[in-house]
A and B are shown apart, each in its own frame.
Chain A
Amino acid sequence: MSAEFDLTDRILSRRTLLARSGMGLGALALGELLGEPAAAAVGNPMLPKQPHFPAQAKHVIHLFMNGGPSQVDTFDPKPELQKRGGQKLPDGNLKTERPTGDLYPSPYTFQKYGQSGIEVSEIFPNVAQCVDEMAIIRSMHADVPNHEPSLMLMNCGDARLIRPSVGSWLTYGLGTENQNLPAFVAMCPGGYPIQESQNWQAGFLPGIYQGTHVDTKHRQIEKLIENIKNDRVTRSQQRQQLDLLAELNQRHLDARQRDAQLESRIQSFELAYRMQSEASDAFDVSREPQHILDMYGPGTQARQILTARRLVERGVRYVQVWHGEGQPWDSHDDIEVNHRRLAKQCDQAIGALIKDLRQRGLLDETLILWGGEFGRTPVVEMPKKGSNQGKINGRDHNHWGFTVWMAGGGVRGGTVYGATDEFGFKAVENRVHVHDLHATMLRLMGFDHERFTYRYAGRDFRLTDVHGRVIKDVIA
């Protein structure tokens, strides 16, 4: 089925363009059907496209808790762990990145919420209010306990090789609904997470599908989006300049036969002109009414999560919201203080996001994914020179078992899927590999992950490679 998503069909080749130009009205009709002027329809790889099936979700907001949030302190309560703190694991500890010791109970309490009565930790009281919208997968597992390969696996479906990120796949497959904004936005306050822009790489897909990195530490639009502002001409001067350009281009075009390639480039300047104001508007949360600002709360997380809503509302396909540069959730030490602080930074805004999307009627078409690249051990991390400071009050990386949750677009709310062992170390029931999560996300977005391919270097590549199983139980 790769022909269905053969890039040459989408970024129309020059050969096809010439063919189209011979077809005249045919090309025009195609463009108009897609709701864009004919010229823009040709050569623009970002025009909206239909997936394999009617999709439940049209947009994704991926809230990336980079560094690895602890499941037993957030969404996977373990009474047995609480009881047996300080004891050794009966069968010994699973191997993780660093030395670990005895069972280390969660410093937080859990409480039941919503009609579903799912238990959530005290550090996420606002997210917990939305538990009936959420499907919590407690049986995630990945391959290794290291940040780099696990980030790559979570984002691109392969721990090491150059593969396109989920957002790149989806913008390739679906285009975007708003040509005046980037299709795939990766927001990260302060700079980059570990592995940097590889997390939103286009891999072997054309570079235009790569995520646009936005450092949400800034507020000024020119620091958020490259070349979005012209500080040397006024808007009316620029309009006059583009009018001049259009006139010269029209004369050039008239002297040639109809050529979609030329028309497409003419159109791109008009799109760019509109993008300047639309992007400024989309990223300016100060335009929100006070009650909405209050709902999301103060701080950088609130600002970027609210921005995420403004973006999907405007048709952006894929928004990734990183908690911060580096690996903020990597609580090898002082987990009680650090996890509480980190959760406090985003809890109110995440809860607000779900409620806000719901009240706007956007939740059903927006898939929210919350999680890190892996979880953390239920056993305490032991001192190791150069890594933790010997405090013995944190947790090591854990790829054996961890939790992510989804909400919105097509997700069966109020669901708990899968389980870790009685201490929360290893996924044991209905295990979900990262490939399975990807297959499920693609399904929610309308794709059969086995048929959604891109031919490169002689192979039809898939996001899920040769793996992946759709978790039907989390789909509404």
Chain B
Amino acid sequence: MSLRLGSLLIACLFSTVITGVFTFADVAAAAQLPPEQVEFFENRIRPILVEHCFGCHSAAADEIEGGLVLDNRAAMLKGGDSGALLVPGQPAQSRLAAALRYEDETLQMPPDGKLPAAVVADFEAWIAMGAPDPREGAALAPRDIIAARALKHWAFQSPKLAPRPAVENQAWPTTEIDFLVLARLEAAGIAPAPLADRYTLARRLYFDLTGLPPTLEQVTTFQTDQDPQAYTRLVDQLLDSQQFGERWARHWLDVARFADTKGYVFTADRNYPHAYKYRDWVINAINRDMPYDQFLKWQLAGDRLDHGDDRSNLAAMGFLTLGRRFINNTHDIIDDRIDVVFRGTMGLTVGCARCHDHKYDPIPAADYYAMYGVFQSSREQQDDDLPLRLVDTEKPADSRIFLRGNPANRGDVVPRQYLTFFTGEQPAPFQQGSGRLELAEAIVDPGNPLTARVMVNRVWGHLFGGGLVRTASDFGMRSEPPIQQAVLDHLAASFMQDGWSLKRLIRTLVLSSVYRQQSKVAPEVAQADPENDLLSHARRRRLDFEAMRDAWLAVSGQLDSTVGGASVKIEADPPSRRRTLYAFIDRQNLPGVFRTFDFASPDTHTPQRPQTTVPQQALFLMNNRFAHDAAVTLADRQAGDGDTARRIGEFYAAVFARAPTAAELAIGTRFVETPETAELEHGPWQFGYGRLLDDQGEDRTVVRFAPLPHFSGDAWQGGPDRPDPKLGWALVTAEGGHPGNDQDHASIRRWVAPQAGEISIQGELKHPAEEGDGIRARVVSSRTGVVGQWDADHQTVGTNVATLQVQAGDTVDFIVDCRTNPNHDSFQWPVSLQLAGSDERSGRRKWDSKQDFRGPGPVGLTVWQRYAQALMLTNEFIMLD
């Protein structure tokens, strides 16, 4: 595979025509035109073109707009994407003149303001005289201009191993990349940051390689290991763990826009039944250190590879098939596959060429439709035990170009073949089936300048908190060059030479001195290397969603470390204890917690996750059941033996894998020994049974009230059975309830006034049954006694109470008894209480029995549990030095 080196002519053209400088060659050409016309052009037209048009319409422009260049006569006559620019001799029919006149709102040039009328008139006159233009040369297609520029683009040159540069500090480098980094640091007069201590290194390494925190024991073992090879051995041990594959599989799933569902497909089944097998295949392949070139080939063309008796590798094809279904629109499904393949593996935005030639990169629309033909010639096959996969169709066929991306508007047929810029003058159409296998081979060909670089950069990004190339999936001509190209190229070249081993690549990186620097940065270094482009120190990083959630599970002792298997809804109640990687990803309605924590969008390929800090993250960790469960489990497991200091020590060991300092011990002690000030409030309603004691004398009416002990899910009642052997039929529901079997077991809904004031009560009592002797309802205030009494006998009656004075803590009871027998006594009695005369500031002032109906209240967190939660909320726990 060689870069296209033709079109030398184009390169030459750069130096002359484009700059707009009047040259000798032009004078010769101009000789054929009447001199006064040449003079008119040179004086009235060319300066305007240079000043007002070339910014967007010249081969030298950063960005060529509308496919139009105005660099010479031929180009001007050719026009741009919208067609001809001018008709010589016919100003009225020339779009150029119309654009300058600003007549049509959609066609106004230059865009930042109309030119003076005299200039417009000059152009009209010039067109009228036949648009005389002395500038020679062939019409330049923007496509050729881009291709010529692309020949020089750094990312399109093969990466080379870098020679080892000379450095002063011979002691610091441990790997080849350290020499490269150090040479630049020394040139800038900056010393690299000191190596991080072993505690920090252990945490960094465990999280980076396994996505889990080290235990105290693991940290201690490493800290006390005297062997000079201790660090290397730890690295190798972690690379060999199952958790390594889990951690790094998730990074690849971001690339693969993995999800368990198809998105919106009307009422069809949304689930991809075996999507998780693709995820498990990735874990397994990474753990086995499958060479990256093979890893890609299985995912792109596993159907064409020899899998022998082992069908498990066919799961790899989920990479292509597990995208969104776009309501089953074929064009969009194929577009998604082209996008994930090229941005994912080569950092090329081929999808940009769907509607027209790529604006910046050497990817004509024809290349897009060559790929379209490949995917159109692949059909889907659903096996019982595997994710959906692609197989070649019987009769592969080339596609026509869709003009402007419109399937109804077809242009030329393009052969199925690899990207033309990379194959030179004579592209070779694919021969085998759809061509997917040949595409895969072209992508992993050692001559491909992008594939290794893109992957190395992704790996770097995960280990160093940011890629050497900032746009991890766009290495095109608008991307910024790498901050250290020699490092990237060296790693890419050795990655390929070393058999595409991801484990060895990662091993090299984490063994480097660059990786092992501390994140603390001296002020003068921060000044000199503010963006850390020189890699003068490590970057402090926040744990991503998976590492954070897994760490909470791990340190609280809840983690279920099962590897692989069907996806689980981690946000369910109770929350799952599986690693976050196994979360069921519903791309249609992705639960809020994923978005809140910057999870990769499963809709399209994600080059790098955004990193935001928003209060919704804090709310989840403060208030979600997941966090409470972790706090409770952690506190219960580290129960101590009654000694506060020892228990705090155990908490620190579990959460931070270290002992607390004296100050931390003091802070913790003070916290857990602070006396409790308030009880958890369960709202103003209580649900029970009892009776009105109406023989207490004139000014003292009392209700005997006991809470109903059992909650069935929709009713408070005597026990699991109805009727309860002891308490009979007495029950309270959201709507109403049922009185018990006698006057001692009336159904009572109690409201406890949270504040003083005058309330009014609205209610409607309904006894729907046709049979029985009806019911009796009473509203009783603990302050003033019975304030209302109603009978309902197969009817509905209003139960309003106009006004009632209450003090905070007073009770208002809604009592229903059965009269003489409890048969057919189900009732509905929704009531609402409203506090009069309060303003907006006084807080809640209306209570509704139906809305406020509740099951058993939650159990409050103990002070130790709150302490445990606080430790897991700290920056120390969530940030990686």
Question: Which residues of chain B from 808 to 848 have any CB-CB distance to chain A below 8 Å in the complex?
Answer: 839-840, 844-846
Q: Which residue of B lies closest to A19 (CB)?
A: B530
Q: How far is the CA of A264 from the CA of B615 in the complex (A)?
A: 10
A232-B858 in contact given A16-B531, A207-B599 (Cβ < 8 Å): yes
Verify if A322 is at the interface (C-beta below 8 Å from B).
Answer: no
Tally of A interface residues using CB under 8 Å? 86
With a CB–CB cut-off of 8 A, which chain A residues contact B839? 289
Contact A206 B612 (CB under 8 A): yes
Could you count the A-B residue pairs with CB atoms below 8 Å apart for me: how many are there? 253
Contact B840 A287 (CB under 8 A): yes
Contact A14 B875 (CB under 8 A): no
Verify if B622 is at the interface (C-beta below 8 Å from A).
Answer: yes
Contact A457 B623 (CB under 8 A): no
Q: Which residue of A lies closest to B682 (CB)?
A: A231
Name the residue among B478, B532, B541, B610 with the largest chain A CB count within 10 angstroms. B610
Contact B614 A457 (CB under 8 A): no
Verify if B527 is at the interface (C-beta below 8 Å from A).
Answer: yes
With a CB–CB cut-off of 8 A, which chain A residues contact B539? 14-15, 18
Q: Which residue of B lies closest to A231 (CB)?
A: B858
Tally of B interface residues using CB under 8 Å? 101
A469-B106 in contact given A196-B588, A208-B596, A457-B604 (Cβ < 8 Å): yes
Q: Which of B207-215, B486-494, B553-561, B862-870 forms part of the interface with chain A? A: B862-870
Query: In the complex, what's the smallest C-beta–C-beta distance from B203 to chain A, in angstroms?
Result: 14
Q: Which of A243-251, A340-348, A353-361 forms part of the interface with chain B? A: A243-251
Verify if B526 is at the interface (C-beta below 8 Å from A).
Answer: yes
Contact A207 B624 (CB under 8 A): no
Contact A269 B678 (CB under 8 A): no
Contact A196 B678 (CB under 8 A): no
With a CB–CB cut-off of 8 A, which chain A residues contact B117? none
Verify if A45 is at the interface (C-beta below 8 Å from B).
Answer: yes
Q: Which residue of A lies closest to B678 (CB)?
A: A234
Q: Which of B221-229, B325-333, B727-735 forms part of the interface with chain A? A: B325-333
Contact B616 A227 (CB under 8 A): yes
Contact A198 B622 (CB under 8 A): no
Verify if A256 is at the interface (C-beta below 8 Å from B).
Answer: yes
Q: How far is the CA of A226 from the CA of B867 in the complex (A)?
A: 23
With a CB–CB cut-off of 8 A, which chain B residues contact A288? 840
Query: Would you give the 0/1 interface string for B169-183, flagging 1 where the beta carbon is closer than 8 Å to chain A?
Result: 000000000000000
Q: How far is the CA of A180 from the CA of B615 in the complex (A)?
A: 8
Verify if A203 is at the interface (C-beta below 8 Å from B).
Answer: yes
With a CB–CB cut-off of 8 A, which chain A residues contact B599? 207
Contact A208 B598 (CB under 8 A): yes
Q: How far is the CA of A196 from the CA of B591 in the complex (A)?
A: 12
Q: Which residue of A lies closest to B857 (CB)?
A: A231
Verify if B572 is at the interface (C-beta below 8 Å from A).
Answer: no
Verify if A89 is at the interface (C-beta below 8 Å from B).
Answer: no
Query: In the complex, what's the smallest C-beta–C-beta distance from B16 to chain A, in angstroms?
Result: 31
Query: In the complex, what's the smallest C-beta–C-beta distance from A173 to chain B, in angstroms?
Result: 16
Verify if A162 is at the interface (C-beta below 8 Å from B).
Answer: yes
Verify if B760 is at the interface (C-beta below 8 Å from A).
Answer: no
Query: Would you give the 0/1 interface string for B343-378, flagging 1 where the beta carbon is closer than 8 Å to chain A?
Result: 100000101100000111100000000000000000
A240-B671 in contact given A162-B603, A196-B588, A458-B360 (Cβ < 8 Å): yes
Verify if A161 is at the interface (C-beta below 8 Å from B).
Answer: yes
Query: In the complex, what's the smallest C-beta–C-beta distance from B44 to chain A, in angstroms?
Result: 30
Q: Which residue of B lies closest to A220 (CB)?
A: B851
Contact B618 A271 (CB under 8 A): yes
With a CB–CB cut-off of 8 A, which chain A residues contact B612? 11, 43-45, 206, 208
Verify if A21 is at the interface (C-beta below 8 Å from B).
Answer: yes
Verify if B272 is at the interface (C-beta below 8 Å from A).
Answer: no
Query: Would you give the 0/1 interface string for B864-881, flagging 1 where the beta carbon is closer than 8 Å to chain A?
Result: 001101110111101101
Q: How far is the CA of A229 from the CA of B625 in the complex (A)?
A: 11
Query: Would you give the 0/1 interface string for B581-622, flagging 1 where the beta carbon is closer than 8 Å to chain A?
Result: 000000011101111101101011100001111111111101
Contact A457 B601 (CB under 8 A): no
Q: How far is the CA of A277 from the CA of B478 in the complex (A)?
A: 46
Query: In the complex, what's the smallest C-beta–C-beta distance from A380 to chain B, in angstroms?
Result: 26
With a CB–CB cut-off of 8 A, which chain B residues contact A11? 610-612
Q: Which residue of A lies closest to B347 (CB)?
A: A458
Contact A458 B613 (CB under 8 A): no
With a CB–CB cut-off of 8 A, which chain B residues contact A234? 677-681, 860
Contact B615 A240 (CB under 8 A): no
Contact B343 A457 (CB under 8 A): yes
Contact A232 B588 (CB under 8 A): no
Partner of B329, one of A16, A160, A182, A192: A160
Contact A252 B876 (CB under 8 A): yes
Q: How far is the CA of A275 from the CA of B618 in the complex (A)?
A: 10
Query: In the complex, what's the smallest C-beta–C-beta distance from B143 to chain A, in angstroms?
Result: 16
Q: How far is the CA of A459 from the CA of B474 in the complex (A)?
A: 10
Contact B526 A18 (CB under 8 A): yes
Q: How far is the CA of A253 from the CA of B343 in the complex (A)?
A: 39
Contact A253 B592 (CB under 8 A): no
Q: How far is the CA of A245 from the CA of B551 in the complex (A)?
A: 18
Query: Would you give the 0/1 interface string for A268-286, flagging 1 where the beta carbon is closer than 8 Å to chain B?
Result: 1101110110000000101
Q: Which residue of B lies closest to A197 (CB)?
A: B589
Partner of B680, one of A179, A212, A233, A247: A233
Verify if A36 is at the interface (C-beta below 8 Å from B).
Answer: no
With a CB–CB cut-off of 8 A, which chain A residues contact B860? 232-234, 237
Contact A198 B618 (CB under 8 A): no
Question: Which residues of chain A from 199 to 234 have any CB-CB distance to chain B below 8 Å in the complex?
Answer: 201-204, 206-208, 210, 212, 219-220, 226-234
Partner of B361, one of A161, A271, A287, A458: A458
13 example contacts (A-B, Cβ-Cβ < 8 A) are as follows A15-B531, A18-B530, A19-B531, A201-B603, A226-B592, A231-B680, A242-B622, A244-B867, A252-B875, A269-B873, A271-B614, A276-B619, A287-B840
| Interchain residue pairs A-B with the least CB separation, the first 10 | A458-B349, A207-B595, A22-B526, A272-B618, A19-B530, A206-B610, A271-B615, A272-B615, A43-B613, A227-B619
